[in-house]
Amino acid sequence: MIVLDEQLLGANLEQAIGKWYQGNVCFITDLRPNSIIKDEAIPMLLRKESQPTFITINERDFWRKVVISEYFCIVCFNLPDSRASEISLLLRNLFRHPEFNVKAKRMGKVVRQKC
């Protein structure tokens, strides 16, 4: 499962990623509908899912601030909102890397992708 940060709403990333990723692609807001989700609550929500990979461009609030957990992976892209459309290709390239090509290998990692 790929979980997109709500900041990425409107970039059509769920469709772009869904073209090549066979699992579920959703937004963090889908995990707890009709509520405000603060950044500090995101790890708790991710732990309730089965091996999710959380994607964000909010690197300031996640890189080196989230406690690493074997239950999820976080990928922080160092991109402005205006370049969010690039995430699908960048994520696909990351998932081709031998350390990230299987969900089990990704779990327990917080990754910062400089772009």
Domain coverage including residue 77: 2-114
DSSP secondary structure, 38-57, as one string: -GGGHHHHHHTSSS-EEEES
pLDDT digits (tens, 9 = 90+) for 53-71: 999 998 776 666 677 789 9
What backbone torsions phi and psi does residue 53 show, to the nearest 5 degrees? -115, 120
Please work out, in degrees rounded to the nearest 5, the angle formed at the alpha carbon of residue 77 by the alpha carbons of 94 and 7.
Answer: 125
**CATH number, domain at 52?**
3.40.50
Q: How many residues does the chain have?
A: 115
Answer whether 0.85 is exceeded by the pTM: yes
What CA–CA distance (Å, rounded) separates 53 from 75?
7
Does residue 37 carry a pLDDT above 80? yes
